[in-house]
Amino acid sequence: MDSQLHVYNSLSGKKEPFTPITPGYVGMYVCGPTVYSNVHLGNCRTFISFDIVYRYLRYLDYKVRYVRNITDAGHLENDEDVGEDRIAKKARLEKIEPMEVVQRYTVDFHNTLALLNNLPPSIEPTATGHIIEQIEIIKKILDAGFAYEVNGSVYFDVLRFNKDHQYGKLSGRNVEDLIHNTRSLEGQSDKKNPQDFALWKKAEPQHIMRWPAPWSDGFPGWHLECTAMSTKYLGEQFDIHGGGMDLKFPHHECEIAQAEATTKKSPVNYWIHANMLTLNGKKMAKSTGNNILPNEIFTGDNTLFSKSYAPSIVRFFILQAHYRSILDISEKALAASEKGYHRLMDAYQLLDRLPIGETGDFDQQQWLKLCHQAMNDDFNTPVLIAHLFDAAKYINSVKNGLQSMDAKQKKSLTKYLNAFLFDVLGLELPTQEKGSDGKLEQTIDLLLNLREEARLNKDFDLSDNIRDRLQDIGVQLKDTPEGTAYTIE
């Protein structure tokens, strides 16, 4: 490989060369969903972005441990540690058990990500499965003097922490601004200061999701689970932590504080954040109706778009933008992606049938270098896709007899298109093609062989007849010095 992977690190605000802690191995933690509703499209974009990171690191031969959690307790309705637990609220409204809510939406999440061809993580731990680990971390933070207990709840003391650490360094905030901008919650909280955050909350009598702890029967704070699970499976310091841009503050800031308070070490070397997805130029929100679920796009069961779009098209659309830029989804943009996706897949499928020439007219070394450079430049999928379109253009010009491809080139182009299209970008062939198993192409090849035999036997009536009849059904033949190529209309 002729260039090195560089990753944009949200902590430094710069692209940095990627060097893992242990050569050859990468530990990556990504904040997973809170499973109280169907996974939304913006989340899908985030998880596709990290699927690309995971896939490309594997392509580079790293052994990657990818941990992505399921939040099934502790995530309250708002960031000020007040309000109901999101899962408990849904369970109350639907009169079902909280774990039924968790089960239903975990299944939805897995199904949707599988349709989008995301690889499953190596470990998918749950918050409720790691209550003991979370209690242990709270004890350590209390022992270190960075937390306090009030009425059975435990809070992280941000001002105390900020005396000898820097709270806010990831999101670029300073504590003085936070003090001014955080609204105080009169009577609603036991916190010493409004910017403090909950590590353990005492459960109200009606709160059904509760566990025993030294301070009270209660539940852990949302930020704590990610510290507990990332540390347990990846160690006190690991390579990559990812999530949506909206998690930078307060969630990830609190994770850093919790980890530094107990280990005195910076927990993560590279923080990666995926940007948001808007719909028709506006923020997606259920309350305004500017909202669409992934499944509503796949089935066409929605009022926003005129037809359905397959998961592969949605994935391709998402990868045509860099993960750090805001992406707007609209019917026009999806339709353009659908065209591009088919152009690329048609060229890929044509490659196998191209005639072999004497020379290779494509600078494949240079092309491969550019493809790697794109991905090494902070996983730049839109630039990689532009290079794949260059390869498609070459394939089409060989088909049209304008350029030539030799056997060696055909073999290596097939190898690298397979690698980039399917392993790195995680695209899939269009479904109807998958079902037909290439039988159409085999049938046409058979007819072309019969026509070639007829020509060798000087039976030009038969050979012309085959050509004309194929043309009648929309298969255009083109005779070139290297053999016969064809296109299907």
Residues engaged in binding Zn ion (CB under 5 A): 31, 226
* 339/471 Cα distance (integer angstroms): 24
Q: Residue for token digits 């298969």? A: 475
Residue 30 bridge partners (DSSP): 68, 242
Nearer to Zn ion, 32 or 340 (CB): 32
What is the smallest separation between the CB atom of 388 and Zn ion, expressed in angstroms? Answer: 34
CB 410 within 8 A of CB 489: no
What lies within 8 Å, CB to CB, of 377 at 6+ separation is 3, 6, 15, 383
What is the smallest separation between the CB atom of 31 and Zn ion, expressed in angstroms? Answer: 3
What is the smallest separation between the CB atom of 188 and Zn ion, expressed in angstroms? Answer: 24
What is the smallest separation between the CB atom of 47 and Zn ion, expressed in angstroms? Answer: 13
Nearer to Zn ion, 75 or 315 (CB): 75
What is the smallest separation between the CB atom of 204 and Zn ion, expressed in angstroms? Answer: 25
E strand intervals along 31-137? 63-68
The set of long-range contacts for 4-8, using a CB threshold of 8 Å and a minimum separation of 24, is 4/376, 5/56, 5/60, 5/375, 5/376, 6/376, 6/377, 6/378, 7/240, 7/270, 7/272, 7/378, 7/379, 8/272, 8/324, 8/378
Q: Which is nearest to 98 in space by CA: 277, 311, 106? A: 106
Dig out the tokens for 212 from the structure. Answer: 């025993």
Nearer to Zn ion, 90 or 252 (CB): 252
What is the smallest separation between the CB atom of 371 and Zn ion, expressed in angstroms? Answer: 33
What is the smallest separation between the CB atom of 130 and Zn ion, expressed in angstroms? Answer: 12
What is the smallest separation between the CB atom of 231 and Zn ion, expressed in angstroms? Answer: 12
Task: Please give the span between the terminal C-alpha atoms of the chain, in angstroms, as a whole number.
Answer: 39
* 43/110 Cα distance (integer angstroms): 12
Rg (CA), the chain: 28
Q: Is 217 helix (H, G, I), strand (E, B) or coil?
A: strand
Nearer to Zn ion, 228 or 344 (CB): 228
CB 413 within 8 A of CB 391: yes
Which helix (H) or strand (E) segment is 385 a member of?
Answer: helix 381-399
What is the smallest separation between the CB atom of 251 and Zn ion, expressed in angstroms? Answer: 5
Nearer to Zn ion, 226 or 321 (CB): 226
What is the smallest separation between the CB atom of 255 and Zn ion, expressed in angstroms? Answer: 6
Nearer to Zn ion, 53 or 344 (CB): 53
* 24/407 Cα distance (integer angstroms): 34
* 70/125 Cα distance (integer angstroms): 6
Nearer to Zn ion, 130 or 467 (CB): 130
Nearer to Zn ion, 239 or 338 (CB): 239
What is the smallest separation between the CB atom of 227 and Zn ion, expressed in angstroms? Answer: 8
CB 98 within 8 A of CB 210: no
**What does the CA dihedral 125, 324, 376, 169 come to, rounded to 10 degrees?**
-70
Nearer to Zn ion, 274 or 347 (CB): 274
Nearer to Zn ion, 154 or 226 (CB): 226
Nearer to Zn ion, 251 or 322 (CB): 251
User: What does each C-alpha distance from 323 to 51, 163, 292, 375 come to in angstroms?
Assistant: 11, 35, 20, 12
What is the smallest separation between the CB atom of 203 and Zn ion, expressed in angstroms? Answer: 22
Nearer to Zn ion, 98 or 221 (CB): 221
* 42/321 Cα distance (integer angstroms): 14
* 389/344 Cα distance (integer angstroms): 6
Q: Which is nearest to 179 in space by CA: 192, 164, 189? A: 192
